[in-house]
Amino acid sequence: AVSAEPMTGFDATLRDRMAGIESALLAAVESDNPVLNEASRHIIQAGGKRFRPLLVVLGSQFGKPYDSGSEIERRVAVGAVVVELTHVASLYHDDVMDDATVRRGSPSANARWGNLLAILVGDYLFARATDLVTDLGLDIVRTYSAMFNRLVRGQIAETVGPAEGVDPREHYLQVLADKTAALISTSARVGAMIGGADPATQDLLADFGEQYGVVFQLSDDIIDITSDETGKTPGTDLREGVDTLPILLARRSTDPADARLLELLAGERTDPEVDEALGLLRKHPAIEQARADVAARAEATRRILDPLPDGPAKQALADLCDSVVTRTT
Ligand code: FPP
Ligand code: MG
Ligand code: MG
């Protein structure tokens, strides 16, 4: 299981609130159907960083002062559960589409129960999320459904690939924005909305989440190539033909020494060819170039926070920008 790294350095109140959200998450998927019960807890219990719920909590801290036991605190927990359930639902579907066999160091739901059940359990988690979000009022329901639209469109765009004449890098960045950043941005915005932050602060936090989401997925795509310790199978994007930033950068190479790599990146790849391409990419300057892009974007994302009042919530958001650069899993 992947540990909840952002939990380190939290104060006791934040730790307690995140622990409460963890219990609420499991309670939200409880079902009298034994298959649904087991299969829907499976990926939640396999671990996860819970940074989308964390963004809801942190976003709420730029509104009214924290008051334990308040209606706001209850709504923040609901919002946090909604975004994490949505994320987990998308992973059940994603692992079917990517033909993934492991997730968070455990067998993926599709590997364990087959594609049909994995898709239906994803639908169930989404159904639970939409049930809970209605409790947060029409403004948040509208924000949520617009986000969900982007999530699906991003995944479709990734699957279909860039249209004729569209720059592959522009296409890729748009996919990241829609499939990943939309939910992360919405997490921060929903927190700010529930917490009673003013509209300018809601927009600032949504912008932060949007930029952070792109950086986060960029680093995820580098790690898909470089790491053997993600709890996922390395090289999944190469195998599935998803052209991520390091692949796009490597493909621009004119170095004759890259002839074999370019050949491997050009067509469909067998499993041994995926391994060969992975080995070549790991030593390729494209990785360092992609890492430099992540570092520059993380710094620009951190600067979005500048106008916010200093305090633990702003610090925790800034820390996320540091850890996205240094993360290796
Ligand atoms: C992970 O990308 C996938 C996403 C961030 C979004 C997937 C969206 C959908 C499947 C549509 C949503 C459907 C429902 C019902 C919620 P990745 O494959 O690059 O990440 P990974 O490395 O973690 O597998
Ligand atoms: Mg995947
Ligand atoms: Mg995918």
User: DSSP string of 263-318?
Assistant: HHHHS---HHHHHHHHHHHHTSHHHHHHHHHHHHHHHHHHHTTTTSPPSHHHHHHH
pLDDT at 6 over 70: no
Percent of the chain with pLDDT over 90: 91
Complete DSSP assignment for 226-239? H-S-SSS-TTHHHH
3-state secondary structure (DSSP) of residue 102: strand
Q: Write out pLDDT tens, residues 197-253.
A: 999 999 999 999 999 999 999 999 999 999 898 899 999 999 999 999 999 999 999
157 CB near ligand 1 (under 6 Å): no
**CA torsion through residues 295, 207, 103, 276, sign:** negative
Closest C-alpha to 173, from 206, 227, 120, 210? 210
Give me the pLDDT at residue 3, please.
41
pLDDT at 12 over 90: no
CA 237 / ligand 3 centre spacing (Å): 8
Q: How many helices (H) and strands (E) in the chain? A: 16, 2
Q: Name the residue type at position 140.
A: I
Q: Write out pLDDT tens, residues 239-296.
A: 999 999 999 999 999 999 999 999 999 988 999 999 999 999 999 999 999 999 999 9
Question: In this structure, what token pair is assigned to residue 239?
Answer: 């195998």
pLDDT at 4 over 60: no
- Closest ligand 1 atom to Cα of 93: 10
172 CB near ligand 1 (under 6 Å): no
126 CB near ligand 1 (under 6 Å): yes
- Radius of gyration (C-alpha) of the chain in whole angstroms: 20
- Closest ligand 1 atom to Cα of 224: 22
Paired residues of 102 in beta bridges: 107
Give me the pLDDT at residue 2, please.
39
CA 94 / ligand 3 centre spacing (Å): 5
- Closest ligand 1 atom to Cα of 240: 18
Q: Name the residue type at position 219.
A: S
Cα separation of 320 and 302, whole Å?
9
Cα separation of 305 and 24, whole Å?
29
3-state secondary structure (DSSP) of residue 107: strand
Give me the pLDDT at residue 127, please.
98
Which residue minimizes the CA distance to atom 1 of ligand 1? 94
60 CB near ligand 1 (under 6 Å): no
Is the whole-model pTM more than 0.90? Answer: yes
Mutate which of 2, 93, 94, 240 for ligand 1? The one with the most ligand atoms within 8 Å of its CB, which is: 94
- What was the ipTM of the complex prediction? 0.97
CA 94 / ligand 1 centre spacing (Å): 4
Ligand 3 (single-atom ion) residues, CB below 5 Å: 94, 98
Cα separation of 171 and 174, whole Å?
5
| Rounded mean pLDDT, 314-326 | 95
End-to-end alpha-carbon separation of the chain, Å? Answer: 12
pLDDT at 130 over 50: yes
Which residue minimizes the CA distance to atom 9 of ligand 1? 90
Give me the pLDDT at residue 1, please.
35
155 CB near ligand 1 (under 6 Å): yes
Closest C-alpha to 85, from 139, 22, 38, 138? 22
Which residue minimizes the CA distance to atom 6 of ligand 1? 179
Average pLDDT, the chain: 94
Ligand nearest to the CA of 216: 1
Which residue minimizes the CA distance to atom 12 of ligand 1? 90
